[in-house]
Each structure stands twice: as structure tokens, then as C-alpha cells.
Amino acid sequence: MENNKSEEKPLLFTLRGFHLSEDYGFLLPNPLSELPALYGPWMEIANNLPHLIQSHQLRSQVYKMPQLSSQHLKGHRELRLAHLALSFITMGFVWQEGEEETVKLLPRNLAVPYWEISQMLGLPPILVHADFVLANWKKKNLNGPLEIENLDTIFSLPGGESLRGFILVTCLVEKAAAPGLKAVVQAGNAILQPDKEALHKALQEMAKAIKEMTDALKRMHDYVDPAIFYAVIRIFLSGWKDNPAMPGGLIYEGVSDEPMSYSGGSAAQSTVLHAFDELLTIHHSKESTAFLHRMRDYMPPHHRAFIEEIQSAPSLKQHILSSGNEKLRIAYNQCVSILADLRTYHIAIVTKFIVIAAANAKAKKGKPSHWAGNFQINPPSSLQERGTGGSGILSFLKSVRDTTRAGIIQG
């Protein structure tokens, strides 16, 4: 039977089938940074956000914006750039005055096209990881490498070099994951064949990629100032769901009379770790799983489909358990262990950039000239121990790390 070609099982899937590339992973390859001239009014504002926010002029500029139709946008990359631009404008508009004077309504000249573009892309009308990181990068020298010295963001918000560093380091973590996604596909296909050697090699490649992700994440210390991240940047990544500063959500004028609630940006919106968790059959707690699954609604549909494809495929863990193959068990455990290490490192970053930064900001509160660089520090109190996605951050991250570690197959 085994030699009969017609009986050979089909390959599970390819990266290309999900609009993913071997080089870029989930990053949008070579995002556009210009829209057609018709959309000049959007781009003019989006390209000048730090100044408009810091001089308290953004809201008045938005109210003056002409109402533009989204129907002249052509193709996926123009839509992604438009979503990125309107997401940045929306975050600046909502949080221009900090959490003291938020708005209850997004005006129709912004809300209607933003909603239409979101519907076309299958994304929510709020800044998501797929905008902020995946579509917000460009090379300074087009022929140069995808390295931080040769990269810049397309749009910015208050936070200067620290914001740029935060976005671009995260971008490089996503790039480091690309060989790991290729390995996920190879592992899935090797199980179907079945091909022990190919599976072993895929697991080794995956472990190597996860380690590279941790190494990329370490550069956060070099490029981001914790005081600026905590007190200046974070509020602009906050949403209007489970946020005491905006308990009623936000009305998108011309879309619905009822306010809508959406979560802010979160690393949990990155598809990478969801893909690894599914392949390795890592089971998180009920509460963590509910939050992680809710974050999938904030991913581009083809990224979400990639996770679902892995989920519906034969179980890697079962395959290794039933094969009794020691070499595969060791390679699998190495992936799980290195994934737990990445999560431990993420906890250390969050502790430094949020928990310790919160304590420092609290200690300095009330002192007259509390500035970090050019930014007056006025940290958002509603975010003190929470992630911008709305999770109780350290307990969530520790729980997810511990359930990862529990995935080890005992010998």
C-alpha cells in the first residue's frame, strides 16, 4: 500500500496558501507608505501626529477633515496602509488629552471610512498589532538588510525614539519567527507523510527560531526607555473595552448609535505564539485561553486561518507519544522548553517596562518637574497593573508560561 502513489496523503498546507512568506512570516512584505493623492488629508494628519497631539491640535484637525470614500483604495496593501493611518489618527484623537478628557464619539468623517476599511480587511476599527508592527515598517535603503539600523516606522505617536524602538524591535521579533513558521508547516506535513527525519529537523528549526526571537526581544533594553514607554506610549495603545477611563466604549458616528468596545494592542494579537502553542498542543488555563482566543478576532483573517489549520491537523504530541521515538520526544521538549524561556523573558521585560516603571512613576508623582526627555510624565492610572489589551498582566503571563512548561513530555 505504502508504495502506491495514488494513496499518498496530500500535503497539509503551505505558507503561501495563507499569504505568508518564508522571509517575512506574518510581517506585511514591503508595506506601502503612500496612498493615492485623494487621501492626502488623511496622510497629512497621520504623518504629523506627535506634533499635533503634543500641541493639542489633533482633534480640531480631525473635525476639519473632509469625508472621503474608501472605494478608491485598490488592493490589500493600500487597504492596510489606510487602516494603519486611520488607526493611528483614532488613537491620537481619543487619547490626545490623556485619560482625563477622553471622547465619547468618533466623528463620521473618520469613523465611516475607518469602519468600511476595517470590514474589507476583516479587522476591528482600532489599532491592532497587524497595523502597529506588521504594516508599520520601511527600509531606509531598499537594498539594505532588514535590521534595525536600516529600518524606520511609517507613522509615529508621542514617544520619539523609544516608540520607534518599541515598534521596530517587535518587528524584528516577528522576522525572527519566520523560519519557525516554515518549520511549523514542515512539521505538520512530516506527520502526514509520516517522515521521522523531516519532523525531527523541523522541530530543531523551530527551537532555533524561538531562541532567535528571544535574542531579538533582548534589544528592547537598548532602544526603549521604560519611563517613556510606561508614561507616554502605553496610553496610545489602550482600547475602550474593560478600561475605566472609557467605561462606555466609543460611538462610531454614522456607523452605529450604540457605543462599541474594542481591546487595545497586545502581544497576544501576534499570531506567532498562537501557532507554536497549537502545534505543540499547549493547553492554557480556561481564563487565559478565553483571552487569547478573543485576541484572535484582532488578527487578519488569513493569520487566524493559519492557526485554525494547525488546530485541525493531526496532533504532533499524540504522534510523538504513539511513535515512542526518543529522539522526537527530546526535540519536542526542547521546543516547549525554549518557548517557556521566551515567555519568561517577556515577563522580565514587562516587569521592567510596566511594573517597575509604574512604581518609579508613582514615587515621582507630584514632584514639579517630572520629565523624561521632552515628555511630561503623566502616567495613566487605569493601566497601572494591566496590559493595554486589558489583561491583569503579570498573573496572565506567568500562568501562560507555567502551562507552557507543563507541556513537556516526561520520559
Orientation of helix 196-217 relative to helix 326-350, angle to 10°: 10
Q: How confident is the model at residue 13 (pLDDT cuts 50, 70, 90)?
A: confident
- Model confidence pLDDT, tens digit, residues 208-254: 999 999 999 999 999 999 999 999 999 999 999 989 999 999 999 99
Q: Domain residues for 376?
A: 19-406
Tell which residue, 380, 404, 408, 411, has the closest CA to residue 100: 380
Would you state the cell numbers that stand for residue 355, as one nine-digit string?
511594573
Compute the CA torsion angle 137, 140, 141, 143 (nearest 10 deg).
Answer: 0
User: What's the pLDDT score for residue 18?
Assistant: 95
In a domain, 89, yes or no: yes
Query: Residue 249 — left, alpha, or beta (φ > 0 → left; ψ -120 to 50 → alpha)?
Result: left
User: What's the pLDDT score for residue 192?
Assistant: 93
User: What's the pLDDT score for residue 362?
Assistant: 80
Residues 83, 87, 90, 96: is their CA dihedral positive or negative?
Answer: negative
In a domain, 1, yes or no: no
In a domain, 218, yes or no: yes
- Model confidence pLDDT, tens digit, residues 159-212: 999 999 999 999 999 999 999 999 999 999 999 999 999 999 999 999 999 999
Report the chain's mean pLDDT, rounded to a whole number: 92
Query: Residue 152 — left, alpha, or beta (φ > 0 → left; ψ -120 to 50 → alpha)?
Result: beta
- Model confidence pLDDT, tens digit, residues 284-325: 999 999 999 999 999 999 999 999 999 999 999 999 999 999
Question: What is the C-alpha to C-alpha distance for residues 308 and 188, in angstroms, rounded to an integer?
Answer: 13
In a domain, 122, yes or no: yes
Q: What is the pTM of this model?
A: 0.93
In a domain, 371, yes or no: yes
User: What's the pLDDT score for residue 374?
Assistant: 52
In a domain, 83, yes or no: yes
Would you state the cell numbers that stand for residue 123, as one nine-digit string?
479587522
Sequence-separated (6 or more) residues with CB below 8 Å from residue 29: 21, 23
- 200 is annotated as contributing to ligand binding: no
Question: What is the C-alpha to C-alpha distance for residues 282 and 108, in angstroms, rounded to an integer?
Answer: 43
Question: What is the C-alpha to C-alpha distance for residues 58 and 96, in angstroms, rounded to an integer?
Answer: 7
Residue range 341-362: mean pLDDT, rounded:
92
- Model confidence pLDDT, tens digit, residues 148-169: 999 999 999 999 999 999 999 9
User: What's the pLDDT score for residue 361?
Assistant: 82
Residue range 104-121: mean pLDDT, rounded:
98
In a domain, 11, yes or no: no
Instruction: Report the amino acid identity of residue 111.
Output: A
In a domain, 304, yes or no: yes
Q: How confident is the model at residue 366 (pLDDT cuts 50, 70, 90)?
A: low
Q: What is the CATH number of the domain that holds 94?
A: 1.20.58.480
Q: How confident is the model at residue 363 (pLDDT cuts 50, 70, 90)?
A: confident
Number of structural domains (the chain) is 1
User: What's the pLDDT score for residue 369?
Assistant: 43
Question: What is the C-alpha to C-alpha distance for residues 275 and 187, in angstroms, rounded to an integer?
Answer: 12
Would you state the cell numbers that stand for residue 331, as one nine-digit string?
526535540
5 pLDDT higher than 50: no
